[in-house]
Structure 1
Amino acid sequence: MPTNFPRIPVLHPSSWFRDVPFRLIWGLVWPQMMMLLCGIVISLTDIWAAGRLSADVQAAVGISFQIQVLLLVFGMALGSGGMAAVSQSMGAGRMKRAQRYVGLVLASCAGIALFVAAAVWLLRRPVLLLLQTPEEVLPEAGYMVELMLMGLPFFYVVQVGGTLFRAARQVIAPLLIVMVSCLLNVAGDLCFGLGWLGCPAFGMAGIAWSTLAANALAALLTVLFLRRGGLLSRRVVPPLRWLKAGAPYLFKVALPACVNGMLWHLGYLVMYGIAAALPDGASALAGLTAGNRIESLLYMPANAFMVTASVLVGNALGAGDRALAKRTGLALFFLSGFSMSAVAACMWPFIGDLAVFFSMESAVQTQIENYLFFNILIVPFTVSGMVMHGVMNGAGATLYPLIVNTSCIWLIRLPFGWGLAHHVLHDACGVYMAMCMSMTVQTSAMVWIFFRKDWARFALNAHAHHEHKEKA
């Protein structure tokens, strides 16, 4: 990467919000909020329906979901690279280059998904044992993981395809796809999982197969809509001569994002193991799972702001406007922090009611209440940090989140979580307290990087030799 680029301008506070496209921000945010709401409805319905069956099934759903999220990091890493490359290409007016990056990302993620699913299938029982899965939960967890692996390639296409849509500012198509998937998934959970409307109740199997069918349909629609929207050309895999010039940037951005995602989600699995190893491990796991899903209601708009930051920062850097990129990042940082803090304050009085709604067992309800108490408290830091992460992704500066996130989860969250939970409090509250500590440090570090480091130097730039190779 050349080093003769101008540094990011130092902005005076009076100019922080000048020329920030607030109308465009809202136009990108609200469809993404609806998409995330549909995803949350799916997750919450899975957890709620599983909780109506038993705590073991609820814990199994949570474990399989965490493994799925961990396995998705390879695809999301490519999605981060695609987000940076496609949004910057669109900002520079390079539609053909954007199409080639879309094809490269989709083809790569499909191959990776098949490989990862096959590899984990062979090791699924050792993985569950490594995660300290309680013996009584193993049969249910094993079944859920098997079905999850069958649907992993579909899940990859849906998630990464959604990222590519948003990178090109096409947010209505993925919204329609997710709405259809949500309706199918929820109807399947209620009808074939719990036996509503006179349908046969298959219990856990009904929940698992409903998710698989919904993901398969959504994957098919994703490919069709990418073609219809002009983002995917007939020749999915770009020419070899272009790959030699364009692929290195994609993987240069994707590699730190992949390592970051892997270590971050692996840390979450270790955190689940810390909770599972407590005397009341099954209740702690069920409470952690349900609390995480409820908490996701708060992060729905925050995720939308984060992705919007990636898109608009990438567009601004692609057009060569570094000052606008920084102003946009700041605007989204403050908007997300203030708005989500207000929502968290409104949710606070209903923590107990939410716990009762998502579990019928008093021990699990207590764990849900404890989880929400600590994690709602830290919302201002968490959501603002997510926007800073989005800014770095849009700029292609995924190295910074790798360093900060990995350090905070492995040097703060997990050591303090283990110590507090097993040696001080003897309860999962120690894990939740450690989560608060790590998020405070993490967001503070990302804000310092935003103001003090030249993160825009990682952006894709159309240099003369690259232009020549691409046209060839």
Structure 2
Amino acid sequence: MRFSSGIAAHLHLPVWFRQVPFGTIWGLVWPQMMMLLCTIVINLTDIWAAGQLSAEVQAAVGISFQIQVFLLVFGVSLGAGGMAAVSQSMGAGKLWRAQNYVGLALSSCAVLSVGVAVLVWLLRGPVLALLQTPEGLVPATSYMVRIMLFGLPFACATQVAGTLFRAARQVIAPLLIVMVSCLLNVAGDLCLGLGWLGFPAFGMGGIAWSTFAASLVSAVLSLICLRKGGLIGKRLMPRLRWLKIGAPYLFKVALPACGNSMLWHAGYLVMFGITAALPDSVSALAGLTAGNRIESLLYMPANAFMVTASILVGNALGAGDKALAKRTGLALFFLSGISMSAVAACMWPFLPDLAGFFSSEASVQTQILNYLFFNVLVVPFTVSGLVLHGVMNGAGATVYSLVVNTSSIWLVRLPLGWGLAHFVFHDAYGVFMAMFVSMVIQTSAMVWVFFRKDWASFALGAHTQHHSKEKA
């Protein structure tokens, strides 16, 4: 679906904007928005249910969640490599090559996630100490982390599979899978965690094991649907001869993405540590956790736009059309920024109500409001920056994201957050202010990269359009 010439002329839209396939964009965006909505419902229900038990349990859930997010960086990075390789292969009309990259990404995910889960299981005590977890939170947090590690390989497989589905423009199957996961997780939190509908209330254990069960079911369904959708060939693991030629590109994209994700999420863990070292650490951590989950409502469409940018930019570059890739990225940049800024403006008057919904404790409500003040205010920068991150993923130029994002958090956010929180405000208010400043700088740098750097040159080009007759 394109704008007609009459409407375009009436609206005085630029030519490049009229050439963007908005119908295709919407067809990819809406299922991903629904997927992200289900994920947000899961996360918010976990936090809300934990908050009904106590602020300590809510903080423990938040810390274990941040550790899980950090450990999923391998899935994120393999997904980024798979997104670039599969979307470009599909754009070039090479299904066999896409199947090889799907098999390689899934196999690598299985090996890495199991290894990481075992390592962190052995080191979970020092990990919690490193995060400056308050002594009163250690038993609850340690329990949540142990259950999370059991489910880590399944969560990682589901995440990678979801990215691979979307790279091939198959967005309905992962939507159905995440809907099943959402139903299982929410029902478990409410029934087994809080004892609704006459079920026994297992408290924190019910919340933890419900998440595990949902991850397990999602991983199994993902593999079945990948096979039925034709993205897994006769062999899951590609032949050794192809691996020697094709694997380097996956890891060329995945390694910077892995570094970006690790350093970014490590920064978030350090930020939790900075917050945990404050005088009122339990309230500050609970407020940070709940505020982050509420904020995620705004980034549901933004993340959908980001992944859509990766898909369409990858398809365009796979077909050799660099101009279309740039036009699509630019259109999504403006669409996401304008639309999500409007949503944030509508959300602003209801921030106190949201804070009251997620906690009944006044000190936690104050922290949630402080978090949301800065992070809702910075939405225009955050969401448009996410789209440019998606453009770099689709092009395989993840090295730019690595440099820009990690510089933003390690050179700006963390030093500034530490100074403001511990020496100026003596409160998490300083951490939240630093998040605002760093995001403005980060997005500004990504805009410069988009217009001034040749990110399209990182795509699978003539040098990898090799052995086109070689089959999996």
Q: What are the equivalent positions in structure 2 for 1:124-203 lying under 5 Å apart?
A: 124-203=124-203
- Kindly tell me the number of residue pairs found equivalent between the two proteins: 460
Q: Match for residue 426 of structure 1?
A: 426
RMSD of aligned C-alpha atoms? Answer: 1.1
The answer to whether the Cα contact below 8 Å between 2:181 and 2:214 also exists between their aligned partners in 1 is yes
Q: Which residue of 2 aligns with 1:385?
A: 385
- 1:448 corresponds to 2:452: no
Q: How does 1:212-291 map to 2 (within 5 A)?
A: 212-291=212-291
Aligned partner of 1:445: which letter?
Answer: A
Deviations 1:324-380 (A, max 9, x none): 000000110001000000000011001100001001111101000000001000000
Q: Deviations over 1:175-199 (max 9, x none)?
A: 0000000000000000000000000
- Deviation digits for residues 256-309 of structure 1, max 9, x if unmatched? 000000000000000000011000001100000000000000000000000000
Amino acid at match of 1:69: V
- Given that 1:158 and 1:219 are in contact with CA atoms closer than 8 Å, whether structure 2 keeps it comes out as yes
CA distance in structure 1 between the partners assigned to 2:39 and 2:464 by the alignment: 43
Find the residue that maps to 1:216 and give its secondary structure.
Answer: helix
CA displacement at 1:467 relative to structure 2: 2.1
Q: 1:18, 1:327 within 8 Å by CA — same for their partners in 2?
A: no
CA distance in 2 between partners of 1:66 and 1:143 (Å): 15
1:462 positional shift:
4.2
TM-score normalised by length of structure 2: 0.96
Q: Following TM superposition, by how much is the alpha carbon of 1:464 offset from its aligned partner in structure 2, in angstroms?
A: 7.5
Q: Superposed, which structure 2 residues align to 1:53-72 within 5 Å?
A: 53-72=53-72
Provide the residue aligned with 1:338 in structure 2.
338
- In the alignment, structure 1 segments of 5+ residues that lack a partner are 1-12
Superimposed CA distance per residue, residues 86-107 of structure 1 (whole angstroms, 9 cap, x where no aligned partner): 0000000000000010000001
Aligned counterparts of 1:470 and 1:399: Cα–Cα separation in 2: 30
Contact 1:337–1:383 (CA under 8 A) maintained in structure 2: yes
User: 2:77 corresponds to which letter in structure 1?
Assistant: A
Partner residue, 1:75: 75
Q: Is the 8 A contact 1:245 1:469 kept in 2?
A: no
In the alignment, residue 188 of structure 1 is paired with which amino acid? Answer: G
Which structure 2 residue ranges, 5 or more long, are not aligned? 1-12
The residue that corresponds to 2:6 in the other structure is: none
Task: Verify the 8 A CA contact 2:96 2:471 in the aligned structure 1.
Answer: no
Supply the distance in 1 between the matched residues of 2:40 and 2:78 (Cα, whole angstroms): 23
Name the aligned partner's letter for residue 280 of structure 1: D
Partner amino acid for 2:22? F
Contact 2:89–2:95 (Cα < 8 Å) also in 1? yes
Give 1:465 shift: 7.4
Output the amino acid matched with 1:382: T
Question: Equivalents in 1 of 2:218, 2:15: separation in Å?
Answer: 43
- 1:234 CA displacement: 2.6
Q: CA contact under 8 A between 1:241 and 1:470: conserved in structure 2?
A: no
Q: Secondary structure at the match of 2:432?
A: helix
Matched residue type, 2:186:
V
The answer (yes or no) to whether the contact 1:275–1:285 under 8 Å persists in 2 is yes
TM-superposition CA deviations, 1:62-102 (whole Å, max 9, x none): 00000000000011101100000000000000000000100
Which residue does 1:402 correspond to in 2? 402
**What is residue 436 of structure 2 aligned with on the other side?**
436
The match for 1:10 is none
- Per the alignment, residue 373 of structure 2 pairs with 373
Cα distance change on mapping 1:372 and 1:99 into 2, 3 Å: same
Separation in 1, partners of 2:470, 2:461: 13
Identity %: 77
How far is the alpha carbon of 1:15 from its aligned partner? 3.1
